[in-house]
Structure 1
């Protein structure tokens, strides 16, 4: 679950059923119509995926190249079978965390999970700094401020 804390998300509450079209998700598409097993195979087949698999709850598949986190429910999860997508987008206005998902089981459990993810995304998005709001836009927000080295070594 630590990977969930690294990425986060806030799109809109909507479940993907078998009949619905693919969701547009930032810089990519998760095609719900493919079905749970096909989507999971596609995710696992990506070369850039780092997996954190568990027998209970949810397994995590992280794609750092595309700033995506796939959360795949296990049979004991109330929303199973479901795949949730969390991704991070970067723009001049700042960083946004977005959530999305495809639910193939209990719609109420899936919608409840999406409510939780979206609430978490909202908190993350409010905490992330707005680059456009910065007083000096000429400095990249990713620059790490370094403390200048002392002019002489400290004496012990």
Structure 2
């Protein structure tokens, strides 16, 4: 089987994102971090993941600066993984994946978790892609450009 080329230097943002965080355990760790998990043991209990795989995924997430390792908030000797600003910026991606799954991967009436707005207790509204002027956009309304290279500033 031919080996896939690394996508970390691709000109496509989707390819780079998949290379960085597209592995299922990585996304589930991020999901759990949004749900308030912080300690290695909490992630392992939630995911049932082998310690070596979890350690490797957490290492990648800290190297990517999505999580930061810091002393435990309770003053114990433990360390905790906390979402950074970069990690928190993944939230819309997780919500979008969740909403797609709710819409397409569950039978009518099948039980599943729901993301609720803490302020009102209501389900979060469906995400939409919008233009700068507020119009809802679909795939037929958008196109990707050729690669845009930053122009050099005149010295």
- Same structural fold, with TM-score higher than 0.5 when normalized by the shorter chain: no
TM-score (norm 2): 0.26
Bigger RCO of structures 1 and 2 (CA < 8 A, at least 6 apart): 1
Bigger fraction of residues in strand: 1
